[in-house]
Structure 1
Amino acid sequence: MHLVWSFQVFLIGLANSAALKPRIDNGLAKTPPMGWNTYNHYACSPNEAIVKSNAKALVDLGLDNLGYRYVTIDCGWTIPDRVNGSLTWNETNFPSGFPAIGQYIHDLGLLFGVYEDAGIRSCQTDIEQAGSLYHEAQDAALFTSWKIDALKYDNCFSDEATGYPNVNYEPSTSPQPRFANMTKALAAQNRAVLFQICEWGIDFPALWAPALGHTWRIGNDIIPAWRAIWRTLNQAVPQTSFAGPGQWPDLDMLEVGNDILTIPEEQTHLSLWAILKSPLVIGGALKDDLTSINKDSLAILSNKDVIGFNQDSLGKSAELKRRWSEEGYEVWSGPLSNGRTVAALINWADETRELTLNLPDIGVQFAGRVKDIWAGKSVQNVKTSYTSTVQPHGVMLLELDDTIAAGSYSSNDFASVNGNTYTFESIYANTSSSNHAIVVQFASATKKSSLKITDSLEQITKTVSVPASQKSVSAKLALSAGGDNKLVIESPNTIKSIEIQTPAGKYYPCTEFSISGSAKIETCDSGFCKPTGSKLSYINSSNKGSANVQVTLPASSKNETILKYIEVDFTNNDIALSTSWGLGSNSRNITISVNDDKPVRLEVPLSGKHSELFGPGKGWWDTSTLGLLVGGWKSGDNVVVVGNEAGDDSFQSYGADFVGLKVFD
């Protein structure tokens, strides 16, 4: 190899005081960077007039004051060969030269970004362009002389061992060393530069990119189609925990304003990119001789609440909380500064619907204020759930403040009181079961007495003894899945609040399942496929696993459909790289059926937190968990079948690998 400075040397160097420090230490990207880039609208055909016009529009439209400050010239600015060994700009397209256009951008109060490639040339276009491989120090010095503020660094024509192909999704070695070379070269310059690693998620860069750059692309390019939002979010799921000040997973540039998506789709696009703490880089034309951004898209990009979620000082990404695959919606949520919470409910369906967010799905029981961002309204004192109309492919984006944690119900907020009788409403349960626990908290130490609890499911009144000098007392009770339960408590002692605790549940590892067809149990290395250490693979509509599960149904459920909450542990690292231009989705199905009832389908995202090329188990040993409600139960013995009943009709006939499941009974 001709690399002058290997990644191994970089790692050794980090151990001593003279070592290059992680990029976070140069003071940049404390929040996700924001700006504008030429690529999504102009592809690899930018020119000086386009850049100047759009940069000026950032200022004229007030977008710079909202944080959009980096102006990056993407591919197409350079020429095929170096001049006297140096990169140079295309003089036809950029007659004033790059130092001059950089000065123009700086004079507007903006920041100047350029694009280059870690290979011998940049990615294939109609115009051949020189890359930076073996010229990192030289190019970093040149860029610094132009006073750049950001470098987007791509990964084409870079794998020497396979003959420098344009794009190689299965390179012979990790791309890490090439990016480390440019990291070192930039650090040697007397200028802080935002370094954006564009490796397309080939080698799970979340594990190494934060030490080298400020942002890293999590996957292949976004495409001008709605399906790219689904594909990108599925790839983002295992990377959300890596986001933080100075290190941001990059979901790629925004298509907002490119007249590709509907207005609700653009709202969803920006909302999820914002709350996942992706850089917000406008990819649409703001202003040129032919195009001006439409007012609706401009209003979306200018939404101060959404930008505020992205730029929040806490720097925590939202995470996928629940997914209803058959019903076509899902919920993401995460913390904000000052005790606030952000939540997004995506409507994947092609129709307008009223959808309900159960607040406990995001860890909240009560919110003193809920701000519905795109609906433009605020609601006070929201208990247990919030319902709103969501347009096709739109999003319910909420900011919740003054919240109480899930499971806690104060008498002031949830109960009506008549003498010694407290009627608590809007009680939530994740599963239908007689094994929920209630803890009654009293306002002061009790007198010896008793209280009576009647639940709305079994409608059985239980008498609970209350010893003297107690602040609380507990009992079991029956609740139905959902947020419409009601409890009536008769108590001579003043009740301050109640706490509802979900059943502990029982875990069933894949090793306890009987196998049919060609499905098989695979053993994972120690510390993987948690908590089982094994997984059931090659699941489809014919190859399945089944187990006997004992449950107890509430007494009043003989003629009712009882829904049990199940958490499924799975692995999936079917990364859509080569298929991302088409129907690749980064997802696989898994189905659960009980006693031959209709299978419930869960389309799971990626779980892999290691490289699909070089990591342990190629990323297929990393477990993730999602919950779902399943019906078909009876008291006693139940046959639970794990398969992929939808497999023949889906993009991938094999399902996700199954590690185990917990039944909350």
Structure 2
Amino acid sequence: MAAFAFASLLSTALGTPLHPRLDDGLALTPQMGWNTYNQYNCFPNESIVHENAQALVDTGLADLGYRYVTVDCGWSVEDRLPDGTLTWNETLFPQGFPALGRYLHDLGLLFGAYGDSGILLCGSPPNQAGSLYHEDIDARTFAEWEVDSLKYDNCYSDATENYPNVNYSPSHSPRPRFANMSHYIQLQDRPMLFQICEWGIDFPALWAPALGHSWRIGNDITPHWRSIFRTLNQAVPQVDFAGRGQWPDLDMLLVGVGVDGEGVLSLPEERTHFSMWAVLKSPLVIGGAINGMEEGSLEILKNEDVIAFNQDALGESARLRRRWSDAGYEVWSGPLERERVVAAVINWGEEERELTLDLPDVGIQFAGGLRNIWRGEAEDDVLTSYTASVEGHGVMLVELSETVPAGEYPSEIFAKKHGASTTFSHVYAVTSSRGYTLNITFSEPPTAKKISIATDATTSPVTVSVPSGASSVTARIPLTAGSDNTITIHGAPVSSIHLTPPKPTYYPATRNTTLTGSTTPFTCPADFCSPTGSKLTHLDGDSTAKFHISSTASGAKYLEVDYINNEVAFDSSWGWGSNSRNLTVRVNDEEPVRLEVPLSGRHSELFGPGLGWWDSGRLGVLTGGWRVGGNEVVFGNEGGEGGFSSSAPDLVGFGVYD
């Protein structure tokens, strides 16, 4: 899918993700199923599993792909049998785990077990035996029980600190423990899905695909709406690691999870949560009690369109494209097979409102077909933008088909003819600039030697000479930021136009800038802090970085900001930790524009180069108040204490589309 340069609104600095070593035919699409933990915590029992497994079948969820049934923490006991094997709690599971597996298999479901890479399972005490130092016998035991998947956790695992329950800063990487169990799982005759659950510590996206079929990208999801924002911010630098047999796991679903008879999320929040997990290609693992689940939540889980986005054979994750932090909404999108695109516009605000998706933000200019999934609506021939009402904390989830790449305007779609003039409407401009390149393709060689071009931003038409027999010409024209520009071409028959925005002028953060407060330049090692090799740190409080930039046009300018943030919310994830940092951009005397930037780190926060603080991310922002001539542009963290992150990200540089 072709797109303008500005459609690459978020990028990462490093290279191609690893490919999976586990080429065993499992998890060709993200796994789907049900797990006991989110609703029952570490207190499962045989009846709970039987009832919910039967409900998977009775509700039709199993037929839609939810087949892995996993008993999470709480199933085992402290002591192993005399032969060294694990065993189950006979009070909770009187018929035993082999019988449970047969029960699930008879229903056409798959049996998921839970283990731990430490000496005890999570949820101890009462203590339950973990698999550390027993990987060989435990892998054989799971195979003998006809287990189909193993979720493998990370509690009680750090020997150097006397095996604490949880350690987010271990002295050694957890990788060898997971590699050990992966090795023994692979030796069994029975194929087993291996789910790595080490909470995102040591950036497992770099190593987990070689060991398992999915890996948890972060700490546990918590039963709060704020947990969705936190998890998505952590997913941003990892989305390109998703692929056949290797899936970033955003954790189990809260859809249908209830506390004291009330759902922990509203229905709009559940739709947003489910949609984003689906399009980011996370495993879809139901965490609520299916037996007795509210019908609204069931319908969300059974939405076949959303499931199809998750299970799409292309296997590519959606990416964050634009974020409007002040306005409280953002856009994600990704490709689907058959040259389709899925896009999601999240309303972080509490009130229902109309939101607009500008198609060029997701790389396309026109969609012959658009389906608004949750509203059950469809539109044909969508030009440049689409507007719909979105509930508070809800999502606009659309499928776009029969698309035209961003910047291309066929006359039969976008133009109307009036005598010798052709007027194109719904023309998108990412920035206000006099430097757009317009390529005009003629439907037949024009007879006129000159043509004129007028836009809403011109005071007088631009005149272009046409060489004899030419099939196309190129002109430089002005446009105003937005999706409602018009271009009128007089004097020639036009087949189509192609529009290219100006190339950005790049400003490294550490050059030609005035620093205040604690702002500090830092030079990074070679190949880091891309693309400049340096950055500014400590843009906190009253600290700022001020730039003087000349512009050839007034109005709103689009900036691409290269930032670094690896403040991973491990301990703070239980509260208000968001995996984001707050950055503001003030142009002249305008109000600052705010961005809550997500994580950018693509190395281990414990052992990697720069602890992940040398890895750049990029996010676009539209800033107002620009004038012709000199402009003062100030980066900082204005209002950072006012409910936002008190720390700003490190600033690498920024490009201005002038």
TM-score by length of 1: 0.94
Aligned twin of 1:537: 537
Contact kept? 1:438, 1:499, Cα under 8 Å: yes
Aligned twin of 1:285: 289
Contact kept? 1:583, 1:651, Cα under 8 Å: no
Aligned twin of 2:635: 642
Q: 1:23 deviation in Å?
A: 4.9
Equivalent residue runs for 1:173-252 within 5 Å:
173-252=172-251
Equivalent residue runs for 1:412-491 within 5 Å:
412-447=412-447, 449-491=449-491
Contact kept? 1:504, 1:664, Cα under 8 Å: yes
Task: Please give the per-residue CA displacement for 1:222-252, whole angstroms capped at 9, x wherever unaligned.
Answer: 0000000000000000000000000000000
- After superposition, the Cα gap between the structure-2 partners of 1:148 and 1:183, relative to the gap in structure 1 and judged at 3 Å, is same
User: Aligned partners of 1:371 and 1:617: how far apart in 2?
Assistant: 44
Question: SS of the residue aligned with 2:625?
Answer: coil
Aligned twin of 2:392: 392
Q: 1:471 deviation in Å?
A: 1.7
Task: Give 1:309's aligned amino acid.
Answer: F
Task: Give 1:284's aligned amino acid.
Answer: G
1:260 aligns with 2:253: no
Question: SS of the residue aligned with 1:68?
Answer: coil
User: Aligned partners of 1:491 and 1:461: how far apart in 2?
Assistant: 12
Aligned twin of 2:136: 137
1:28 aligns with 2:21: no
Equivalent residue runs for 1:293-312 within 5 Å:
293-312=293-312
Contact kept? 1:24, 1:245, Cα under 8 Å: no
User: Aligned partners of 1:142 and 1:532: how far apart in 2?
Assistant: 53
Aligned twin of 1:3: none
User: Aligned partners of 2:427 and 2:151: how far apart in 1?
Assistant: 50
User: Aligned partners of 1:646 and 1:163: how far apart in 2?
Assistant: 43
Aligned twin of 2:619: 626
Contact kept? 1:430, 1:502, Cα under 8 Å: yes
Q: 1:445 deviation in Å?
A: 4.0
From 560, 582, 598, the counterpart of 2:591: 598
User: Aligned partners of 1:521 and 1:145: how far apart in 2?
Assistant: 59
User: Aligned partners of 1:395 and 1:418: how far apart in 2?
Assistant: 40
Aligned twin of 2:499: 500
User: Aligned partners of 2:126 and 2:220: how far apart in 1?
Assistant: 19
Contact kept? 1:277, 1:315, Cα under 8 Å: yes
User: Aligned partners of 1:446 and 1:170: how far apart in 2?
Assistant: 70
Aligned twin of 1:525: 525
1:76 aligns with 2:74: yes
Q: 1:124 deviation in Å?
A: 3.5
Q: 1:295 deviation in Å?
A: 0.8
User: Aligned partners of 2:560 and 2:570: how far apart in 1?
Assistant: 29
Q: 1:651 deviation in Å?
A: 5.0
User: Aligned partners of 1:444 and 1:208: how far apart in 2?
Assistant: 57
Q: 1:179 deviation in Å?
A: 0.2
Task: Please give the per-residue CA displacement for 1:561-619, whole angstroms capped at 9, x wherever unaligned.
Answer: x1111110000000000000000000001111112321111000000000110011100
Task: Please give the per-residue CA displacement for 1:411-465, whole angstroms capped at 9, x wherever unaligned.
Answer: 0000011222111100000001111111101123444622111101234211111
Contact kept? 2:215, 2:247, Cα under 8 Å: yes
Contact kept? 2:448, 2:491, Cα under 8 Å: no
User: Aligned partners of 2:23 and 2:118: how far apart in 1?
Assistant: 27
Contact kept? 1:331, 1:344, Cα under 8 Å: yes
Contact kept? 1:601, 1:646, Cα under 8 Å: no
Aligned twin of 1:9: none
Question: SS of the residue aligned with 1:436?
Answer: strand
Question: SS of the residue aligned with 2:236?
Answer: helix
Question: SS of the residue aligned with 1:649?
Answer: coil
Contact kept? 2:42, 2:123, Cα under 8 Å: no
From 247, 270, 276, the counterpart of 2:274: 270
Question: SS of the residue aligned with 1:100?
Answer: helix
User: Aligned partners of 2:505 and 2:355: how far apart in 1?
Assistant: 31
Task: Give 1:227's aligned amino acid.
Answer: R
Question: SS of the residue aligned with 2:641?
Answer: helix
RMSD, aligned CA: 1.1
Aligned twin of 1:65: 63
Q: 1:125 deviation in Å?
A: 4.0
User: Aligned partners of 1:280 and 1:23: how far apart in 2?
Assistant: 23
Mean Cα displacement is larger for which, 455-464 or 55-64?
Answer: 455-464
User: Aligned partners of 2:266 and 2:313: how far apart in 1?
Assistant: 31
User: Aligned partners of 1:596 and 1:196: how far apart in 2?
Assistant: 52
User: Aligned partners of 1:23 and 1:278: how far apart in 2?
Assistant: 19
Question: SS of the residue aligned with 1:632?
Answer: strand
Mean Cα displacement is larger for which, 116-125 or 193-202?
Answer: 116-125
Contact kept? 1:536, 1:658, Cα under 8 Å: yes
Task: Give 2:558's aligned amino acid.
Answer: Y
Contact kept? 2:328, 2:347, Cα under 8 Å: yes
Q: 1:637 deviation in Å?
A: 1.2
Q: 1:120 deviation in Å?
A: 0.3
Question: SS of the residue aligned with 1:542?
Answer: coil
Task: Please give the per-residue CA displacement for 1:279-334, whole angstroms capped at 9, x wherever unaligned.
Answer: 000000011xxxx0111111000000000000000000000000000000000000
Aligned twin of 2:117: 118
User: Aligned partners of 2:117 and 2:468: how far apart in 1?
Assistant: 74
Q: 1:652 deviation in Å?
A: 3.3
Contact kept? 2:73, 2:123, Cα under 8 Å: no
Q: 1:409 deviation in Å?
A: 0.4
Larger RCO (alpha carbons 8 Å, 6+ apart): 2
Task: Give 1:275's aligned amino acid.
Answer: V
Question: SS of the residue aligned with 2:573?
Answer: coil
Q: 1:547 deviation in Å?
A: 1.2
Task: Give 2:38's aligned amino acid.
Answer: N
Task: Give 1:209's aligned amino acid.
Answer: A
User: Aligned partners of 1:644 and 1:379: how far apart in 2?
Assistant: 41
Mean Cα displacement is larger for which, 449-458 or 581-590?
Answer: 449-458
Aligned twin of 2:605: 612
1:580 aligns with 2:584: no
1:366 aligns with 2:359: no
Aligned twin of 1:44: 42
Question: SS of the residue aligned with 2:626?
Answer: coil
Contact kept? 2:582, 2:644, Cα under 8 Å: no
Question: SS of the residue aligned with 1:26?
Answer: coil
Task: Please give the per-residue CA displacement for 1:110-162, whole angstroms capped at 9, x wherever unaligned.
Answer: 10000000000011445321100000000000000000000000001101111
User: Aligned partners of 2:236 and 2:391: how far apart in 1?
Assistant: 24
Gaps of 5+ in 1: 1-20, 555-561
Task: Give 1:635's aligned amino acid.
Answer: V
Question: SS of the residue aligned with 1:264?
Answer: helix
| Runs (4+) off by over 3 Å | 21-24, 444-448
Q: 1:470 deviation in Å?
A: 1.6
Aligned twin of 2:169: 170
Q: 1:633 deviation in Å?
A: 1.6
Gaps of 5+ in 2: 1-18, 258-262
Question: SS of the residue aligned with 1:548?
Answer: strand
